[in-house]
Amino acid sequence: MSNIGKSIPEAKWHRLDNTANIFPVVANRNYTSIYRISVILKEEVNPDILQQALDQTLPRFGSFKVRLRHGFFWYYFEANDRPCLVAPEMPNPCSYFVPAQNNHYLFRVTYFKERINLEVFHVITDGTGAVDFLKELVRRYIDIQLFIRDGDPLPDQPVVDVFSDIEDSYLKNFSNKNPKAYSTERAFEIKGEKFPIYTKGIIIGSISIKEIVALCRDKGVTITQYLTAVMIFSIYREYYTGQLHKRPITVSVPVNLRPYFNSTSTMNFFSVIPIVFRVERDDHTFEEILEYTKNQFSEMLTQDYFASKIAYNVSFVKKMYIRFIPLFIKNIFLKISYIRSARANTITLTNIGRFKVPDRYKPFISGIGLLLGASSSEAVKCSVASYERTLNVTFISVLSDTYLQRAFFRKMSEDGLTITIETNGAYYENLH
Amino acid sequence: MKTCIKCHVRVTDSTDVCPLCKSVLSEPRGPASQNAFPTPEIDSKQYHFLKRLLIFLSVIVGSASLFINFITYDGFLWSLITVAGILYLWAVISHSVANHINVASKILVQSFLGSIFIVLIDYLLGYRGWSVDFVIPSIFSTADVAVVIVILINRMNWRNYMLYQFVIALLGFVPLLLYLINISDNPIFVIISTSLSALSLLGTFIFGDKAVKSELRRRLHF
């Protein structure tokens, strides 16, 4: 045997962050826990340059250059040295992929026409971490392109502050003070006729930032608060007409925790605030819902609130008797608790905010998009992202009807916003 | 630009109806636009005939044997062996035939499920103890040897087999335990299984270098 005497290569490893443990357990073909952030360039993407850009970017991002492994008690990440290949975009975005068929990487870089997509399995990082990776990737892409075309030297200054900070900020900011459990009260569930399996309907509404900022300033709310209120109002108007369900409308809004705890982690560090609206009458006005939403936000967007959420989550994994339960048994309990928490949620609305790049790169980028994976347990999801003058609201749905999306965009145009709609074409299929 | 008069939205798709409300758009023949997504694939052919046929046959065979056993019952529950056999077959199909699963993990799961199956058969046939006396020690002796062969063939990949090698070796001590609490009474098979397991562990500690030991630490971190 030729290998005798050679030492076996050793790979670095690190633990999953506190939230990440749930994702490998619940992910399957239906609920994928994959989200996608895309940058739209002004010219068609060149796959060779994209591959070069990825090859140069990936080694610096320790939280992306990993594969997932089973330990006896927990999952863990191990450094992955295989090549990571770019590929053309597949027809159904955010669909499940088996890491083993992706050189064990837990993300994918794909392209379609002018668009570069980063599809990320939530286990490695949240939206903030993914935006940083994508930003650096796109910047490399543009730099290489400029170098080839005009001979511009490649700049060394990265566009992100931190490449790789593998820190479990949940553990770091854990204190045992008044832990707060997640609400498990069942929420109203949006139901309807479904598309064939794996097919999803995507509707993107583009709005001018100027218009929406002026409107929100007028109403004295933030953009996320306004959009959340429009969401609650649309569900209320579309699904509670004449019939008052007992279950509340619950909109989950993910929040980036880094600013609250001064963290630069490149792993997951987010939490979710549930905006629970109880329908009591059949004449709630939009203004009333907006006021309620605003108050809920200011009540929950505090360091104390998040600290007690973290205390609750982390206290579990700190318990010795839980740490020594074999992984496959832990996973059964995780799955049950996930199903309970998913039922407490009507829809997720996430806003990753503004995508900012240095001036050098602005002439080459025309837009940004964010897409979440929808599933039968949460049929519709909504994501918001903005770049320069445009804000995009994207709906992804497994339902073939568009009642919620229609009510949502109609309400916004009633408020005087100009909306431009773009879809993935799934809603036209049955017309042919 | 094409506009929906009912929704008051502009539409950039190459279509003549509003995607939100299906109303006809004004200016349907507006400037030609590009689709922003690859055409969605309606995947209705996703249909595994063979799998469905096997499920169908499994249910029929299982319930038929339960039924026949029930109406001709003479004190012997042979139908449970059939049912356990069918369940075992499904475990084999879903785990051991799947491509992406670690070979060592297949050996472990097979030995474990196989042992349970054998004990069940022994029990239903009036428990004479042959399962714990002979079969279980043999299964784990074979598993010990099989894993070591896998490791010798692909030593660079030892790290990936390590956890399973350890669990198999530990299970190889079960016959000794059964012997000590007088459930089994055949010392020869117990000695073989125990010593093969001990050799497997000893070999790891002596031949395994730093990488192998650090592998153990990460696999067993808690």
Each residue of A161-189: pLDDT tens digit?
777 788 888 888 888 777 777 777 899 99
- Comparing CB atoms, the residue among B12, B19, B35 nearest residue A427 is B19
Q: Is B71 on the interface with A (CB under 8 A)?
A: no
Domain range A13-170, CATH class: alpha beta
Residue B148 lies in a domain: yes
**What integer pLDDT is reported at residue B42 of this predicted model?**
61
List Cα–Cα distances, B197 to A110, B140, B217, in angstroms: 48, 8, 20
- Chain B residues inside the 8 Å CB shell of A418: 10
Distance CA A354, CA A170 (A): 25
CA angle A58, A125, A80 (to 5 degrees): 40
A1 pLDDT above the threshold of 50: no
Q: Is residue A45 a contact partner of residue A39, using CB atoms and an 8 Å limit? A: no
Q: Measured between CB atoms, which of B44, B100, B221 is closest to A76? A: B221
Query: Taking CB atoms and an 8 Å limit, are B38 and A431 in contact across chains?
Result: no
Residue A430 has a pLDDT of: 60
Cβ-defined contact of A71 to B12 (cutoff 8 Å):
no
Section A10-35 average pLDDT: 81
User: Same domain for B142 and B87?
Assistant: no
Task: Report if residue B44 sits inside a domain.
Answer: no
Q: What is the 3-state secondary structure (H, E, C) of chain A?
A: CCCCCCCCCCCCEEECCCCCCHHHHHCCCCCCCEEEEEEEECCCCCHHHHHHHHHHHHHHCCCCCEEEEECCCCEEEEECCCCCCCEECCCCCCCCCCHHHHCCCCEEEEEECCEEEEEEECCCCCHHHHHHHHHHHHHHHHHHHHHHHHCCCCCCCCCCCCCCCCCCHHHHCCCCCCCCCCCCCCCCCCCCCECCCCCCEEEEEEEEHHHHHHHHHHHCCCHHHHHHHHHHHHHHHHHCCCCCCCCCEEEEEEEECHHHHCCCCCCCCEEEEEEEECCCCCCCCHHHHHHHHHHHHHHHCCHHHHHHHHHHHHHHHHCHHHHCCCHHHHHHHHHHHHHHHHHCCCEEEEEEEECCCCHHHHHHEEEEEEECCCCCCCCEEEEEEEECCEEEEEEEECECCCHHHHHHHHHHHHCCCCEEEEECCHHHHHHC
For A293, other C-beta atoms within 10 Å of its C-beta total 25
Measured distance CA(A14)–CA(A319) in Å, rounded: 20
Asked if residue B212 and residue B134 are part of one domain, the reply reads: yes
Whether B149 and B181 share a structural domain: yes
| B17 in contact with A, Cβ within 8 Å | yes
Nearest CA in chain B to A420: B10
Selection from A28-32, A294-298, A309-313 with the highest mean pLDDT = A294-298
Tell me which residues of chain B, numbers 125 to 154, contact chain A at a CB-CB cutoff of 8 Å. 152
| The pLDDT value given to residue B29 | 58
pLDDT at B44 over 70: no
Residues B212 and B118 in one domain: yes
Q: How many percent of chain B have pLDDT more than 90?
A: 36
B191 and B121 fall within a common domain: yes
Inter-residue contact A61 to A144 (CB < 8 Å): no
pLDDT of residue A137: 95
CA nearest A269: which of A357, A171, A351?
A171
Report whether pLDDT(A432) > 50: no
Q: Are residues B83 and B69 in the same domain?
A: yes
Q: How far apart are CA A107 and CA A229, in angstroms?
A: 33
User: B211–A89: do the CB atoms touch at under 8 Å?
Assistant: no
pLDDT on residue B63: 95
Residues B212 and B209: their CA atoms lie apart, in Å, by 5
Q: Tell me if B40 and A73 make a contact (CB, 8 A cut-off).
A: no
Q: At what angle do helices A286-300 and A223-239 cross, to 10 degrees?
A: 130
Residue A17 scores a pLDDT above 60 = yes
Sign of CA dihedral B190, B193, B197, B200: positive
For B37-66, letters b (16+ CB in 10 Å) and e give bbebebeeeeeeeeeeeeeeeeeeebeebe
The answer to whether the Cβ–Cβ distance between B158 and A419 falls below 8 Å is: no
- Per-residue model confidence as pLDDT tens digits over A45-104: 999 999 999 999 999 998 999 999 888 889 999 999 999 999 999 888 888 788 888 899
CATH 3.30.559.30 positions along chain A are 180-431
Work out the number of other CB atoms within 10 angstroms of the CB of residue A218: 10
Q: Mark yes or no for CB contact A413/B9 under 8 Å.
A: yes
Closest CA to A106 of A92, A118, A93, A91: A118
CB distance A74–B214 less than 8 Å?
no
Residues 6+ away with beta carbon under 8 Å from A183? A250, A274, A276, A344
pLDDT band at B24 (very low <50, low <70, confident <90, very high): confident
B212 chain-A contacts, CB cut-off 8 A: 8
Give A153→chain B minimum CA distance, Å: 33
pLDDT in tens, A404-424: 999 999 999 999 999 999 998
Same domain, yes or no: B221 and B154: yes
Of A3, A6, A425, the CB nearest to B13: A425
- pLDDT value for A6: 65
Interface probe for B, chosen from A43, A406, A411, A432 (most Cβ of B below 10 Å), is A406
**ipTM here:** 0.81
Residue B186 has pLDDT above 90, yes or no: no
Note whether A421 contacts B10, CB cutoff 8 Å. Answer: yes
One domain, residues B62 and B108: no
DSSP letter for B14, please: S
Q: Provide, as residue numbers in chain B, all residues whose Cβ is less than 8 Å from the Cβ of A69.
A: 218-219
- Estimate the crossing angle of helix A403-414 against helix A223-239, to 10 degrees: 130
Note the pLDDT tens digit of each residue in B145-176: 999 999 999 888 888 888 889 899 999 999 99
* Residue pair B166/B105 in contact by the 8 Å Cβ criterion: no
In this structure, what token pair is assigned to residue A420? Answer: 């431009």
Answer whether residue A224 shows pLDDT above 90.
Answer: yes
The beta-carbon neighbor of A8 closest among B37, B152, B159 is B159
Q: Where in chain A is the domain with CATH 3.30.559.10?
A: 13-170
Q: How far does the CA of residue B132 sit from the closest CA of chain A (Å)? A: 26
Chain A, nearest residue to B105 by Cα: A70
Q: Once rounded to an integer, what is the mean pLDDT over residues A202-206? A: 94
Q: Is residue B41 part of a domain?
A: no
Q: How far is B10 from chain A (nearest CA, A)?
A: 5
pLDDT of residue A8: 65
Asked if B146 and B211 sit in the same domain, the reply is yes
* pLDDT, position A277: 94
**A353-394 pLDDT tens trace:** 999 999 999 999 999 999 998 877 789 999 999 999 999 999
Which residues are registered as beta bridge partners of A88? A111
Compute the distance between CA of residue A278 and CA of residue B31 in angstroms, rounded to an integer: 45
Chain B residues lying within 8 Å of A421, measured CB to CB:
4, 9-13, 18-20
CB contact under 8 A, B221 and A202: no
Which range of residues forms the domain containing residue B14? 1-34
Q: Kindly state whether residue B45 falls inside one of the protein's structural domains.
A: no
For residue B154 the two structure tokens come to 């692909």
Same domain flag for B193 and B130 = yes
Q: Which residues contact B61 (CB under 8 A, 6 or more apart)?
A: B82, B86
Can you read off the two tokens belonging to residue A265? 């982690």
Contact A92 B221 (CB under 8 A): no
Q: Is B74 within 8 Å of chain A by CB?
A: no
Q: Kindly state whether residue B43 falls inside one of the protein's structural domains.
A: no
| A-chain residue closest to B12, CA distance | A422
Tell me: do B107 and B156 sit in the same domain.
yes
Beta-carbon contacts of A251 under 8 Å, excluding residues fewer than 6 positions away, are: A228, A231, A232, A274, A275, A277, A346, A347, A348, A349
What pLDDT is attached to residue B195?
A: 94
Q: Which of A91, A200, A405 sits opposite B39 (nearest CB)?
A: A91
Tell me which of A260 and A317 has the higher pLDDT: A260
Q: How many domains does chain B have?
A: 3
For A51, other C-beta atoms within 10 Å of its C-beta total 17
The reported pTM is 0.85
Contacts of A429 in chain B (CB under 8 A): 40, 42
What is A180-431's CATH topology? Chloramphenicol Acetyltransferase (3.30.559)
**Where a domain ends, among B80, B101, B122?**
B101
* B190 and B109 together in one domain: yes
Tens digits of residue pLDDT in A244-289: 677 899 999 999 999 999 999 999 999 999 999 998 888 899 999 9
Of A8, A93, A422, the CB nearest to B12: A422
pLDDT, residue B158, reads 83
Nearest CA in chain B to A89: B38
